Amino acid sequence: MSDSSRSLDDLRTFVNSSAGVDLQQKMKFYNSWAETYEQDSNTMSYRAPHQTVEFLFDNFSGRPEQVQVLDVACGSGWVAKLMVELGFKHFVGVDGSQGMLDQAAKTGLYKELKLAFLGTDPLPAPTGMFDVVMIVGALRYDFVPVSVIRELYLAAKPGGHICMSRNDLKSESGNKYKVSMEKELQLMEEEGLWSHVITKEMDKYMIDVYSNCEDAQNEKYLSGTMYLYRKSLN
């Protein structure tokens, strides 16, 4: 296929071509990217799925084969593919891009795949059904708004885990998102909705293709953070 070997420079131009567009356009962008998304993401050293799945596994005590997983912003199904290697078996996926959902369907791992624009449409998931709710690579100001975190919480079973990861975009909007997300996580804990299990930094989330920092060796990678919360039992 013609786009199958984009260089890092091609990818800088490509991913930045979607900056500033509205959500509907963004989902069209992902539709157009879906077929080569994983290959291109490897070129950008995007390691968030691997690191977040490992983070969950290291801090989780259930039996993976019995766990119902809701994979929010599932994209091409990468998270489920990695979780299957660790024994997880039951997945439902949600994404706003039909092209990405088509790729996820090809994995054959998801019992259901649902199209929804998060933040606009309600999260299409029953309340209190999932042992694990994952969201990787989508908690950022121009993707999934912070308000959706309460919907992730609702979808979890009492005692279920909500596992989230986020990158540190080097921009004012990126920073504002981080502050408002962490405020919401804390507020939900103060409200007794969930308890904090663990937070861990990722120093190599992916190569920073968003800022102009190709020459600054120490700024080559974006960092990020992984969060694990446990829904209260009552």
Ligand X SMILES: C[S@@+](CC[C@H](N)C(=O)[O-])C[C@H]1O[C@@H](n2cnc3c(N)ncnc32)[C@H](O)[C@@H]1O
Residue 181 touching ligand X (CB under 6 A): no
User: Radius of gyration over alpha carbons of the chain, in Å?
Assistant: 17
Q: Give which of 19, 68, 43 is closest to 171, Cα–Cα.
A: 19
Pattern 62-81, binding to ligand X, x per CB under 6 A?
A: -----------xxx--xx--
If binding is defined by CB under 6 A, does position 55 make contact with ligand X? Answer: no
226 binds ligand X (CB under 6 A): no
> With binding defined as CB under 6 A, does residue 119 bind ligand X?
yes
Q: Does 100 bind ligand X (CB under 6 A)?
A: yes
| Of the residues 137, 160, 174, 224, which one makes contact with ligand X according to CB under 6 A | 137
The least CB distance from residue 147 to ligand X, in Å, is: 11
**Cβ–Cβ contacts within 10 Å for residue 50, how many?**
14
Which residues from 5-44 bind ligand X, rule CB under 6 A? 23, 27, 30
CB of 60 to ligand X, least distance (A): 18
Count the residues of the shown chain that bind ligand X, applying the rule CB under 6 A. 22
> Which of 109, 113, 125, 136 lies at the binding interface for ligand X (CB under 6 A)?
136
The residues of the shown chain that bind ligand X, judged by CB under 6 A, are: 23, 27, 30, 48-49, 73-75, 78-79, 95-97, 100, 117-119, 136-138, 143-144
